[in-house]
Amino acid sequence: MRIHAWLMVVLVSFSALACAGLSASSPARRGDIAALRSALQEDFRAGRLSHDAVIDLARDIASHELRTATGNLAVARIQQLRMCTASVADAMRDRADGNDDIAALASMALLDAHRIDPSRFRDRSSDPSPAWRALGTRVLTAKRDGDLRRARLLDPDENVRLAAVRAAQDAADPADHAALLDAARRDPNPLVRVQAIRALAVSANAQVVLDLKDLWPGGSEAVRQSIVASWAWPGAFEQGGHREIRSVAESDSGTCAIVAGGILLRHGGQDRGAGIAALVRAILSGVARDRALAINMAPLDDPHVLDLVRSAANEAEPKVRVAALERLARDPAHRADALRRLGELAVTKSPAMSLSRAAMARLGDARVTTLLVEDGNSTNADNRLQAAQSLIDLRDWGRAAQFLADPDVRVRTGTACRLLIAPR
């Protein structure tokens, strides 16, 4: 027992020394990007960039950028880091300490991440500032808040209305149905309309299922997709949603039919055939994006689907071809050949090149590493950010960490956040 305890102390000590020995730690905390770039290269060569070390560096960079940004740049950093708020909560709390709109935006990020007490903002639901009023509206989730919550669905500010429909989704109060349906039908902001449909789904009944159907003819593609997803919610599915999803899968086309087909496929039983049929139709025709989506969802244990996917892997359209090869590579029987073909595409100068490199990374094929490092030297910031994401997909923490010193703040902050939320 004593030996075990001694070994644990030694291991912890070595771990602490490894982190303390990072050359990049100090420049990361103070935001010295030039020094950080050199230090990261030194740490990489020395083999010091373990997963835990890189996560610490990512948190330091993200926190520094969050604390030091001003004006519109502060708004951009908060929005960019919303997905990883839990990991940079201390820095986000620093930005939330105030009464300006930036503090309200940071507080909303903390609220969504469950890192701040909602009761702090109940008295801000009638604030003259739209940003603070939105924050106060977001916490109106109790039944007793219903009248004010529904009133805020008519607020002149779209962010307040969005906060109201999100609060309604948490509240799951049937008394909100009429107001939410009106928002889904009339609100000028498409995001509010979509969120209102999602809120309706939480407490849907047979009437809500039919009300959503009435929205279908005049709905945008995003609204229709949200309707299909809402029909699949427990409660809605059993009270008519299943019937409507099946109708969409059998008679509609495009993304909505694919989503409906995927739902039926997962439901299984007698719905499996209808789901596969919808996906097969989508693979055979439609825009490349939809065909790629259907390929990704269709089951390869169906012989007809397998034949279609193998055929799609020979098409000229890059999105369809790469999607088919990636799908085949996830099947042990076809993995080796599909990876070989993706590798061939990855070294071409064709439109399939970048798609193939990303697919290989998602599949864990480390042969693409050198190509991704080359992409990291691109003059295009989006290309560099994609290279960073692919290295993260490969769990190549040391090379991904190099992008924390990118000259573009959007790339280094985006890389930091992706590292912080990546599965180990």
Task: Give pLDDT tens digits for 380-423.
Answer: 999 999 999 999 999 999 999 999 999 999 999 999 999 999 99
Centre a 10 Å sphere on the Cβ of residue 50 and count the other Cβ atoms it contains. Answer: 16
Do the Cβ atoms of 272 and 249 come closer than 8 Å? no
Per-residue pLDDT of 223-251, as tens digits, reads: 999 999 999 999 999 999 999 999 999 99
Percent of the chain with pLDDT over 90: 94
What does DSSP assign to residue 269? T
Per-residue pLDDT of 76-126, as tens digits, reads: 999 999 999 999 999 999 999 999 999 999 999 999 999 999 999 999 999
pLDDT confidence band for 8 (50 / 70 / 90): very low
Max distance between CA atoms of the chain, in angstroms, equals 73
pLDDT confidence band for 5 (50 / 70 / 90): very low
Angle at Cα 301 formed by Cα 298 and Cα 304, nearest 5°?
A: 70
Structure confidence at residue 395 (pLDDT): 98
| Residue whose C-alpha is closest to residue 95's, from 86, 103, 105, 104 | 103
Assigned token pair, 91: 């820095």
Q: Return d(Cα 414, Cα 385) in angstroms, integer.
A: 7
HSE toward the beta carbon, residue 225, CA cutoff 13 A: 13
Do the Cβ atoms of 391 and 374 come closer than 8 Å? no
Structure confidence at residue 197 (pLDDT): 97
HSE toward the beta carbon, residue 300, CA cutoff 13 A: 17
Give residues with Cβ within 8 angstroms of 390, minimum separation 6. Answer: 357, 358, 361, 362, 368, 372, 375
Q: Return d(Cα 250, Cα 257) in angstroms, integer.
A: 8
Structure confidence at residue 7 (pLDDT): 36
Q: Return d(Cα 74, Cα 266) in angstroms, integer.
A: 42
Per-residue pLDDT of 115-160, as tens digits, reads: 999 999 999 999 999 999 999 999 999 999 999 999 999 999 999 9
Do the Cβ atoms of 361 and 346 come closer than 8 Å? no
Structure confidence at residue 21 (pLDDT): 79
Per-residue pLDDT of 28-69, as tens digits, reads: 999 999 999 999 999 999 999 999 999 999 999 999 999 999
HSE toward the beta carbon, residue 130, CA cutoff 13 A: 9
Per-residue pLDDT of 257-306, as tens digits, reads: 999 999 999 999 999 999 999 999 999 999 999 999 999 999 999 999 99
Structure confidence at residue 15 (pLDDT): 42
